[in-house]
Amino acid sequence: MGACSIATASALGQIGDADGHAKQSPSNPPKIVEVPLSEQFGVSFLPAPQITLGPVDVAELLIEDEQTPQPAPLRFAVPREVPVSVADGAWLPVAGGHLWRLSIVAEEATCNRVHLTGLGLGDGEELYLVTESKDRAWVGPITDDGQFDTGEAWGLFAVGTTSTIEWFVPGDEKATSLPFTGLEMSHGYRDIFTEASGDFGGDKGDGGIAGNCHNQPACYTAWSNESNATLRLVFGGGYLCSGQLMATTSADETPYVSTANHCISTQANANSAQYLFFYRANTCGGGTAGGTTVTGGDLTDTYATSDCSLLMIRAEIPAAAYWVGWLSTNQANNSASTCLHHPGGAPQAISFGSKVATNNYCGSGSYWSQVSWSNGITEPGSSGSAMYRDSDRKLYGVLTCGSSSCSNPGADDGYGRWDSAVSSSGGNFAAFLTAGTDDAQEQNDTCATAKAVSSGTISGLVCKSTDEDWYSFSVAGGTTANIALTFTDANGDIDGQLYSSCGGTVLASGVSHTNNEVLSWNNSGASQTVFLRVYMYSDTRNDYSMTITATQSGPVNDECSGATALPFGSTQVATSSATDSAIELTGACIDGGTTTMYKDVWHTVTALFNGTMTVTNCGSSDFDSRIAVYGSTCPTSSTAVIACDDDTAGCAGGSTSVTWNASTGQQFLVRIGGKTSSATGFTTVTVTGTPAPSCPADINGSGAIDGVDLGILLSGWGTSTGDVNGDGITDGVDLASMLSSWGPC
């Protein structure tokens, strides 16, 4: 990610103009879409209790609108306070807790939206705001203090009279009070959502809004890119304007939006904004497409003098979006000019004209470009839309005021000067429009420039589609590195990859479609520096936090089930990261201390011939060791030990050696550990074997099988002493073998 370069007063010329560009990032991947809680728990068929609000006086509201001082955004709904308590809703027992539901009905509303204040959800609690339109629309899951950590939560404006609040509380107990202190329902009284209001074939809008004198952008294909940047904005309790995506000079796809200051000039209104892309006819003379809605943004900067505001969308940007270019200089009179906008909230319209003056058309000072129309006009709801210079289709103003309409097409409009907003002596938007803001870890755009970090949490990080992040950190041997990336997936999907080196092996990946990516890697070897790549899988930018922890972890052969092969010869064995197995030793295996074998590891050995096998670290261990040998099956507390020892005589430093009888191909489990909890480290373990003599029944090696051998066998009956066939016990099979081979070998 490139760090944000802040332009100063003397550096304004360095920023220059910005060129437009289409979205460069990959198209959005399939998403695991969260659905409302009632659908998650399978109870959506059950009706929720309702609070009903009566109709509003539409005529009175329209009179108020006519008397509102201009410039002002177009009002289409009014917020109504709704007194509510937990007793107004209904609880349903669901998996893991309880679900509370309540519907608010605004009679005769053209559209509606729910707004909560004083929000504070507990651990594990989730809340959804569902607009019960023909195509249900919802926001959620909402947690903690809301989408912007301000204690507010906004639903979606959509057609219909009803919205439902769904609130999940985990555990056995129902909550006794609501997790919010204020509830408003926006009651729509203008028709800005139905298809009829966007039909340019005649005056089918609400009270003449979106009249019959507009042009469809699809009929003017040269402006298709700018059409892909044009937005309809609804915000607050019920206001409407237009806006457009704005390019940075670095083309880093920061989702900046320009609109008018008289539309949005506060953080609260920016947070509440709902952006509608591609609401238009996609073919000349064709019907209207519904468009793509994203919600939530931040106020980046505002400049009332020329009535310009710069916002930044938080949510994921549609794949076909376009960022418009812009000019940092005032334009000459008679410049051919074009505007794309949403008159009255209707589908996109395009209007053509020319700049006729720079003056105080909308207020004091020469901060407006006056435009006369030759084909098309603007109407309420078009405020904040762009004026483009035709020669290069770059923005030079945003709509502030005017009196043009379908009934007065000869009237002029005024556009706030963008060059004044950009100028360091004016709004200084240039400080943001070089590139979107970044984090303090920059520059860490490549593996070669990875930022060295350590265990802990780093917040306030930013990832961009044009600028990924790299980090490096050390992972000690015998530990597991855990990396957690936390973000809001709806604002853009962030993924992570952990590499062994720059250009090396991928050790772990996090590629889900959730609000968290978790990567884990167990380092079973020596300490190693690894490299973490954080990148946007979809969208253009998102904020995230990163937590790195290291936990002690056992090696692969920490338990019997993971035993690894120990070959004949010498092998270095490490026990420092091992844990204690549960199987205790017998008293015969220990030379003082407890019967626990501490920090033990497990191996398998296989006999290559009939005879004896020896496993030893005698004189080659840096800790006081114990060794035990079992059969081929993982032992239980009652399993007999074939061989074991602790502090073998003649072996320095508490090292150990064990020997036992074996047959060709027979497999054994060898357990190596410490005498005390602090006895751990490295040891060199050697596996050897001695083949049995060619006359196995000649126990004393005299060259003949005779009474002496028989006496040894009988005296060792039931033990391993006198064992002829190598199965570890002296019994009738051994006696029969001896008698059948009686005499000289």
- Tell me the angle at which helices 707-715 and 732-740 cross, rounded to the nearest 10 degrees: 180
The mean-pLDDT minimum among 25-34, 562-571, 733-742 falls in 25-34
Predicted confidence at residue 26, as pLDDT, reads 52
Q: What is the pLDDT of residues 455-466, one digit of tens each?
A: 999 999 999 988
* Domain extents in the chain: 48-67+77-188, 210-433, 447-552, 560-691, 704-744
The architecture (CATH level 2) of 210-433 comes to: Beta Barrel (2.40)
Q: Which two structure tokens, joined as six digits, stand for 699?
A: 């126990």
Task: Say what the pLDDT of residue 102 is.
Answer: 98
Are the folds of 48-67+77-188 and 210-433 the same? Answer: no
When the pLDDT of each residue in the chain is averaged and rounded to a whole number, the result is 90
Higher pLDDT, 213 or 170: 170
514-539 pLDDT tens trace: 888 999 998 877 789 999 999 999 88
- Among 148-162, 479-493, 664-678, where is mean pLDDT lowest? 479-493
Q: What is the pLDDT of residues 122-144, one digit of tens each?
A: 999 999 999 998 778 899 999 99
620-664 pLDDT per residue, tens? 999 999 999 999 999 998 999 999 999 999 999 999 999 999 988
Residue 335 has pLDDT above 80, yes or no: yes
Higher per-residue pLDDT: 213 or 142: 142
Q: Which helix (H) or strand (E) holds 456?
A: strand 456-464
Please tell me the distance from the alpha carbon of residue 167 to that of residue 88, in angstroms, as a whole number.
Answer: 13
Q: Does domain 560-691 have CATH number 1.10.10.10?
A: no
Given this model, what pLDDT does residue 269 score? 96
**pLDDT > 70 in the chain, percent:** 94
Q: What is the structure's pLDDT at 507? A: 95
Cross-strand partners of 570:
686
Q: Is the peptide bond before 141 cis (omega within 30 degrees of 0)?
A: yes
Task: Provide the pLDDT for residue 194.
Answer: 62
Residue 19 has pLDDT above 90, yes or no: no
Could you tell me where the beta strands, DSSP code E, fall in 500-538? 506-510, 516-523, 528-536
Task: Output the pLDDT for position 165.
Answer: 97
CATH number, span 447-552: 2.60.120.380
Q: Give 90-109 pLDDT, tens digit per residue.
A: 999 999 999 999 999 999 99
In 3-state terms, the chain is what percent helix, strand and coil (to 5)?
15, 40, 50
Question: Cα(110)–Cα(107) distance, rounded to whole angstroms?
Answer: 9
Nearest-angstrom CA–CA distance, 708 and 489 = 83
Between 213 and 482, residue with greater pLDDT: 482
pLDDT band at 550 (very low <50, low <70, confident <90, very high): confident
Whether 477 and 525 have beta carbons less than 8 Å apart is answered as yes
What pLDDT is recorded for position 33? 59
Residue 202 in this model has a pLDDT that exceeds 70: no
Q: Does the pLDDT value for residue 204 go beyond 70? A: no
Identify the pLDDT of residue 648. 93
Would you say domain 48-67+77-188 falls under CATH 2.60.120? yes
Angle at 557 between CA 556 and CA 561, to 5 degrees: 105
Q: Is the pTM of this model over 0.85?
A: no
Instruction: Give the pLDDT confidence of 60-79 residue by residue, as tens digits.
Output: 999 999 999 999 999 999 99
Strand pairing partners for 138?
130
